[in-house]
Amino acid sequence: MLDPKVLRADPRTVADNLARRDFTFDAAMYAELEAERKAAQSEAESLQAQRNTLSKRIGEARQQGEDATEMMAEVTGLGAQLEHRQAALASIRQRLDAWLIGMPNLLDPEVPDGKGPQDNLELRRWGDPAEFDFEPLDHVQLGERWGLLDMRQAAAMSGARFSVLQGELALLHRALTQFMLDLHTRQHGYEECYVPYLVNAASLEGTGQLPKFREDLFALEGEQHFLIPTAEVPLTNLLRDTILEMPELPWKKIAHTPCFRAEAGSYGMDTRGLIRQHQFEKVELVLAVHPEESEAALEELTIHAEAVLQALELPYRVVSLCGGDIGFAAARTYDLEVWLPSQKAYREISSCSNFRDFQARRIKARFRPGQDKPPQPVHTLNGSGLAIGRTLVAVLENHQSEDGSVQIPDCLAPWMDGVTRLGVAG
């Protein structure tokens, strides 16, 4: 949620910033709601002051043995008016909050202008895409060739956009997960968490998935619980209603979870294989930092995600998302895009975002900057480190041989039970 003080102080600048997202800030509606709030608050404060003054006079009158009956009746009347005005103020604030909750975050000045992915700014590349002297297979062909990927049975039991991994492919999936967890906990300083896969609506609202992205969520029928679209939701909500002390910053958590997304509006997009599934897994990184450290934290977070790709010897590039392509809650986002030979294109495998105080204000996550200083909102960040299914796709396609076998990257050896090449008979 945006800082109300910023909105009140300079609504025009807010409107100009949000216009870079192609979001129209209704200044007239905001001015109307703010005028109503100010008037109701002023009246409530005036009534409260009158009642306080009168109550004091009643006390003084009683001490002097004077009759305070009329003043007591007046206090009762003021109390009724105050209660009515406070209820009206609460209603206005509720309407204002409901309107503000639908507003996206302000963009950092460094975010490039643009309408969509074609306008994202490439920052750097790592590694050179492999040049095969044969026609490379896609990951579905590779997996099905050796009977390790079964899309047909998955569709029979669950429908489209599900998969079954078997044998060495399932082992590779698990090895990738364990490698990522160990890398980030042992070398990058994140604390591992096991978190719920079901969360309530307030948790999703806190991280920005609700109300905007309700269509993409799987909800339990008859209940206000949802399957998590990412571990960002439960991890970030660990900070709800907390005040961190300075020694606790930076706060760094990691979790491996399944993720569930309805993919509403994505029909016809990546329907083949593992790229866009209703159920997939990620290793997610979440940070809370001092506001002065959040820009540096975004760079560090991105480097941590890049380390996975470099260890797996997967070519990738880093792009800064433009105003028209950035997520609802993010102030700035770097996407990591891995090279997929079958598509002859770079595809997103991680998004690393700085939300600044946007999520923190929603969940009341704060830190104490010093003794005798009031708590302030922390800055939150998150990134995938990485999306496991897409990493599996990239490993299969980039490390394949002409016979359809796949060389396993050396960094995965501790978790591959002696398997060094996938798809080798016997």
252-258-263 Cα angle (round to 5): 110
Q: Determine contact, residues 15/30, Cβ cutoff 8 Å.
A: no
Alpha-carbon span 397 to 131, nearest angstrom: 12
Amino acid type, 179:
F
**Which one from 351, 353, 356, 384 is the annotated catalytic residue?**
351
**Is residue 45 annotated as part of the catalytic site, yes or no?**
no
57 is catalytic: no
34 is catalytic: no
Q: What angle do CA 5, 7, 12 make, to 5 degrees?
A: 140
For the CA atoms of 43, 45, 48, 49, the dihedral, rounded to the nearest 10 degrees, stands at -110
Q: List the catalytic residue out of 21, 85, 261, 356.
A: 261
* Cα dist from 259 to 54, 184, 198, 231, 381, whole Å: 59, 19, 10, 7, 18
Beta strand 251-260 with 191-192: parallel, antiparallel or unpaired? Answer: parallel
The number of CA neighbours under 13 Å toward the Cβ of 295 is 5
Catalytic residue among 348, 368, 405, 421: 348
| Secondary structure (3-state) at 242 | strand
Query: Which position among 20, 174, 240, 276 bears the catalytic label?
Result: 276
In order of 262, 275, 418, the CA distances from 257 in angstroms are: 17, 17, 26
Of 257, 283, 256, 252, the residue nearest 190 (C-alpha): 252
Neighbour order of strands in the sheet with 376-377: 242-245, 365-368, 376-377
d(CA 190, CA 251): 8
Q: Output the six-digit token pair for 329.
A: 């809650």
Angle formed at CA 297 by CA 311 and CA 375, multiple of 5 degrees: 145
* Active-site residue identified among 332, 361, 390, 397: 390
Q: Is the peptide bond before 250 cis (omega within 30 degrees of 0)?
A: yes
83 has catalytic annotation:
no
Active-site residue 261, yes or no? yes
Cite the active site residues: 261, 276, 348, 351, 390
